[in-house]
Structure 1
Amino acid sequence: MWGSIVNNSRSFAAQLIAYTKGNNQNEIVSEIIHRHIAWLTALRYQLRLEKEWEHTEERLNNIFVPNICELYYTKLDEELMSCISDEEFEKYKNKSNLATHIMLTQSKRLQELRDQEYFEDFRHMELQKIIHNFYEDQGKSERIKTFPFPRQYASIALWLTLFFAVLTPFGIMDVFMDRIWLTIPLSTLIIWVFYLMEKIGDYSENPFEGTYNDVPITSISNTIEIDLKEMINNHSIPSKTEPVNGFLM
């Protein structure tokens, strides 16, 4: 999904640069590109919000703060206001889903530009199609974030793993009748493998929970921002996100 967002973002910027005609072309393209970066920022923060079924005790403290108010009214506000005007930002403050409304503004703006004949109908349709793709990728990400796996999947897998762990030593005892002590290290190894597989499945259910096992959407967003700003020759290009303690955010 986030790979799709990367590809569509680049295509969106390239088409916008190629299609838009007019005396203030550069200003218009820059406005829309920065609004797209604002959408990425809002979506990223929304996906980092805490859900009660996630591994909240293992979040990256001081990097992805789990407190919703802190997240929304300091860091997010600051980042959004660097991309869009204060007037536009005020329209979003009371919205429950900022990313949705930012993309709505983007769609309306494209229609205004079409009405002013900055590009043709066909090209306008192509740009709106990419807006549709962005909404799809956002919706898929939100579905993973908002709807937990049915508990029977997690519960049954855990209980079967524990049941298997209890029976494993008894199941291999007759293989080592002359060296019964080998049952202990071999059983430990087998149990560890199956327990590790169960834990990997558990953490993979929530790829946006703010732990070390996350999809690095902060780094992905940073890559998109760098690419898009370089495409419009913007001078305020951010530095590339570096790993923290060996992990990308």
Structure 2
Amino acid sequence: MYTKRNYGFFMTLNWSKKPMLLGFLYAAVLFSLFYFIKIRFYLPWQPLGLIGIAVAFYLGFKNNSSYDRTWEARKIWGSMVNNSRTFGAAVVSFVQGANEAEIKKELLYRHIAWLTALRHQMRLSRPWEHTEERINKLYAPTVSEDYEKTLQKELAEFLSPAEIQSLSTYSNMATQILRNQSKRLQELRDADLYEDFRHMEFHHLIQTFYEDQGKSERIKNFPFPRQYASTAYWLTIVFCAFVPFGLLEIFNTTMGWMYWLGPVITAIIIWVFFLMEKIGDYSENPFEGTYNDVPITAIARGIEIDLREMIDDTNIPKPTETVNGFLM
């Protein structure tokens, strides 16, 4: 997530310059052929304008839908923050008896382990994501040994080696961590550390965590429908391919040096349309680990800090800081 007030113009230009440069070269060739070889072929601007309006409306639809996916993802992880704080307060208040300090720490650490596993699972790549543009290559583009070692190392801070070993055989580790949490809560109820009513509250919170995880997995594992994404891309290409033919009618050879402004204007028009298309394209997948992601690493760190402070833990980490204006 970008945290500064505005993207810089040159930052935006650098990110989206390829279509503009290609459009300028394409238009320069056509304008040169028209000027030097006297190829007199152009298209009236009116039908091209209608096509441009249709493409702009379609890109608007795509961008709105992409934004909805990003905003829904942020709301899901906001719900996780609230539910996690409620769970932490319940653990601190409900659990009473022998070794209560160790038990509270165990439960909250297992919850942090769940967040850690879920965060790593959300960062795994999918074929439709921009895996080549992950922030500083912080997240492995495929499920690999590096990913496994990183996750195991982080989980070792919160879970016992035996529990980590038992989880390693499962495909969805986050799901199994919550299962273990539920079993442990039942054991504590059987040991009379709290009564049935409080146990039901714990079970309800586990349910909300499963719901939040399932909603995140739905966005992660179900792409923005490819027919909509692909149609927007190809319609933009078709429209931009016709743009210089329409401008040839406007910038005719009788205009002198101003005739050569045609390729520049063409490049700007092409840049505007492809910029709109790219913004929607890079908003479709809010967990892919690129510049406009939901900052789930920072959110998970914030939850960890809150929970560990509830039990007066030591060596509490600092909040995640921005790097060059980006928060992961």
Residue 282 of structure 2 corresponds to residue 207 of structure 1 = no
SS of 1:161's equivalent in the other structure is helix
Whether the aligned pair in 2 keeps the contact of 1:45 and 1:71 (CA below 8 Å) is no
* Cα displacement (A) at 1:27: 1.3
Measured against aligned partners, the alpha-carbon deviations of 1:143-182 in whole angstroms (never above 9, x if no partner) come to 1211222221111111111223234455677778877666
Whether the aligned pair in 2 keeps the contact of 1:20 and 1:118 (CA below 8 Å) is yes
After superposition, residues 48-67 of structure 1 pair within 5 angstroms as 48-67=123-142
Unaligned runs of 5+ in 1: none
Return closer, same or farther for 1:172/1:108 CA change in 2, 3 Å cut-off.
Answer: same
Q: Which runs of 4+ in 1 moved over 3 A?
A: 166-191
Percentage of identical aligned residues: 59
Alignment coverage as a number of residue pairs: 249
Letter in 1 for 2:279: I
Report the TM-score, using the length of structure 1 for normalisation: 0.90
Letter in 1 for 2:172: N
Measured against aligned partners, the alpha-carbon deviations of 1:44-82 in whole angstroms (never above 9, x if no partner) come to 111111222211211234421324223443111111011
Residue 181 of structure 2 corresponds to residue 106 of structure 1 = yes
* Cα displacement (A) at 1:185: 4.8
- Which of 189, 200, 207 is matched with 1:132 structurally? 207
RMSD over aligned Cα atoms: 2.1
Give the structure, 1 or 2, with the largest relative contact order (CA under 8 Å, sep 6 or more): 2
Whether the aligned pair in 2 keeps the contact of 1:5 and 1:134 (CA below 8 Å) is yes
Supply the distance in 1 between the matched residues of 2:228 and 2:298 (Cα, whole angstroms): 31
- Which of 226, 229, 238 is matched with 1:154 structurally? 229
> Which structure: larger Rg?
2
Measured against aligned partners, the alpha-carbon deviations of 1:114-148 in whole angstroms (never above 9, x if no partner) come to 22222222221112111111111111111121122
Supply the distance in 2 between the matched residues of 1:169 and 1:6 (Cα, whole angstroms): 51
Aligned to 2:317: 238
* Cα displacement (A) at 1:40: 0.6
Report the TM-score, using the length of structure 2 for normalisation: 0.70
- Which of 11, 18, 23 is matched with 2:98 structurally? 23
Supply the distance in 1 between the matched residues of 2:274 and 2:130 (Cα, whole angstroms): 17
Unaligned runs of 5+ in 2: 1-75
Supply the distance in 2 between the matched residues of 1:183 and 1:18 (Cα, whole angstroms): 71
